Chain A
Amino acid sequence: MARFRGRGMASVNYPIGMNLGGDPSQALIHSNPDGKFTVALSAIDLGQGMKQVTRQVAAETLGVPVEDVYVDTADSDTGPHDMGSFASRGTHRMGNAVIAAAREARGVLLEAAAEELEVNAADLVTDGKGNIHVKGAPSRAITVRATAQAAQFKQGKTIAGRGIFLIPLSSVDPETGEMNPNTAFAHACLVADVEVDDETGEVAVLGMSSAYELGRVINPKMVEQQLVGGAWMGISHALYETPEPYYPNPDHGPRDFNEYLMPGPGDIAPYSITILERPAPDGPFGGKGPGEMCANPVLPAIANAVYNAIGVRVNDLPITPEKILRGLRANGGVKPQPRRGGAL
């Protein structure tokens, strides 16, 4: 009876969003009398950081401080329709919709400022600190706040913008079956080291390393946060979690957190991440977004590492001690596989 170590890897080409009829997102932006902006989305931030990312994208495009942008999400009464938060589409789709809306709002903002300064709007620039001035002449300036007030109370203008991002539906070529279901792909490769106990069938993840190519990283700390959390979820799905352990037989399914297994803070593995940035041509500032692929490569990498350690190929998740032990029995014992890439 012993413990066997193994290493597995997996790589993923991950499509951002989907293309079932265009997969549109929409955004509306308007200014308030204090010169701050409200972005209305009906998409929801479930904790991924979409609210912060769209706030940064809106502020950058409008040319105002990020503190002066408020993002109102998750209200389908007041926000324009959105397909939703799924398929890792938040940064890419909603970010693009927000850029479109912010560009239109910025156009009206500069027109209103131009009227106050009696100059041509095309000659105006923003300093990102709440001021608008004539290019090359910073003294000929007006604040965004004064512009918003002049537009509303004097000029009778609404500083607002509408944005939508829609990828035209790609139909299937009847001759070849070819279609273009997506425009942006993110990429990752992940290596997992595990230790398998051939007596108990338990698998421990010793450590993981990954490289993620996510387009432009719009908020580096939040990308790291999502990758760390998603990797834990990947471990959990690979080894622990299932609502139906004997599917399609519904017996022995968990009824609560006492029976639904999730690894706790004592079960996490050291994880090192390298972020690569290859900006997407059609992404907001080149962003794609990490999304679901934080977890995806962890599962096959762990399954491969288990096979590498003991020669048992488990084809359905999670890889429970029972499946390991049944596999060992069917194989007639442990059969470690050849390993490349150095010692574990």
Chain B
Amino acid sequence: MAKVPVQFRLNGSDRAAFADPADNLLTVLRRGLNDFGPKYGCGQGTCGTCSVLIDGELRLACLTLAASCEGASIETVSGMADGPSLHPLQNAFMEHFAAQCGFCTPGMLTAAKALLDRNPNPGREDVIDAIAGNICRCTGYEPIIQAILAAARTLPAQRRS
């Protein structure tokens, strides 16, 4: 099948790739654009480690056709840090030991960012709800929940008002 060009913004930069019309976004990000932040886990939308933000909405890159992202703004975990400064979520994940093998971490961070972007004052139940689509084998979730709650507390006060 003929490849089609697809252009979108990826973590603030204009990027373009040639994709099969049937290629999912995860394939194009990882193989086409060398963004290895989102991970390939189950490939069927049940584990959450491929999570990305498309125009600010939490989406599963493995279930999203790349061609449907034409003109969209995509954020992955690779763009969370501002140069050498880590995102408050990334710092909190380290401080609370919220990663062991690390395979779920890109999806957890992305799902947590989507939560804090729309609700800077989440309660414990909000956090549990936000990461309910992400499977973690190692941590038992508690350190991840604690990290996200801690990161929310470090957000600038005006964002929490």
- Closest residue on chain A to residue B100 by CB atoms: A47
The segment from B17-25, B115-123, B127-135 found at the interface with A is B127-135
Given contacts A256-B44, A266-B132, contact A233 B97 (CB under 8 A): no
Contact A268 B141 (CB under 8 A): yes
A46 with B46, Cβ < 8 A, contacts A265-B128, A265-B145 known: no
Chain A's interface size range is 20 to 34
Q: Is A231 interfacial (CB-CB < 8 Å)?
A: yes
Asked if A315 is at the interface (CB within 8 A of a chain B CB), the reply is no
Interface string of B63-79 (1 = CB under 8 A from A): 00000000000000000
**Contact with A225, one of B97, B128, B135 (Cβ below 8 angstroms):** B97
The answer to whether B140 and A233 touch across the interface, beta carbons within 8 angstroms, is yes
A47-B141 in contact (CB<8A): no
Contact B101 A256 (CB under 8 A): no
Q: Are B140 and A231 in contact (CB under 8 A)?
A: yes
Instruction: From known contacts A46-B101, A222-B97, A229-B140, infer whether A265 and B132 are also in contact, taking CB-CB under 8 Å.
Output: yes
**Residue on B with the closest CB to A48?**
B100
Q: Which residues of A contact B141 (CB under 8 A)?
A: 232, 264-265, 268
Residue A228 lies at the interface, judged by CB distance under 8 Å to chain B: yes
CA distance A229 to B104 in the complex (A): 14
Query: Which residues of chain B (100-153) have a CB below 8 Å from chain A?
Result: 100-102, 127-129, 131-132, 135-145
Interface SS of A by simple majority? helix
Contacts of A47 in B (CB 8 A): 99-102, 138
Is A247 part of the binding interface, using a Cβ–Cβ cutoff of 8 Å?
A: no
A257 at the interface (CB under 8 A from B): yes
Instruction: Give the nearest-CB partner of B139 in chain A.
Output: A229
Bound Cα distance from A222 to B138, whole angstroms: 12
Q: Which listed residue, A226, A230, A256, A268, touches B46 by the CB 8 Å rule?
A: A256
Contacts of B143 in A (CB 8 A): 225, 228-229
Other-chain contact of B97, A48, A221, A258 (Cβ < 8 Å): A221
CB distance from A313 to the nearest CB of B (A): 27
Contact between B139 and A228, CB atoms less than 8 A apart: yes
Contact of A257 with B46 at beta-carbon distance under 8 Å, contacts A222-B97, A265-B131, A266-B132 already known: yes
Q: How far is the CA of A100 from the CA of B143 in the complex (A)?
A: 35
C-alpha spacing A230/B142, complex, angstroms = 12
A317 proximal to B (CB < 8 A)? no
Q: Does A262 contact B (CB under 8 A)?
A: yes
- On whether the beta carbons of B128 and A266 are closer than 8 Å, the reply is yes
**Chain B nearest Cβ from A270, distance in angstroms:** 9
On chain A, the residues within 8 Å of B138 by CB distance are 47, 229
Residue pairs across A and B with Cβ atoms less than 8 A apart, 11 shown, are: A47-B99, A222-B97, A225-B100, A226-B100, A229-B100, A229-B140, A233-B137, A256-B42, A264-B141, A265-B128, A265-B145
Chain A residues with a Cβ under 8 A of chain B: 46-49, 221-222, 224-226, 228-233, 256-258, 262, 264-266, 268, 271
- New A-B pairs, 17, CB < 8 Å, besides A228-B139, A265-B136: A48-B100, A225-B97, A226-B100, A228-B142, A228-B143, A229-B143, A232-B139, A256-B44, A257-B46, A258-B46, A264-B132, A264-B135, A264-B141, A265-B127, A265-B131, A266-B132, A268-B141
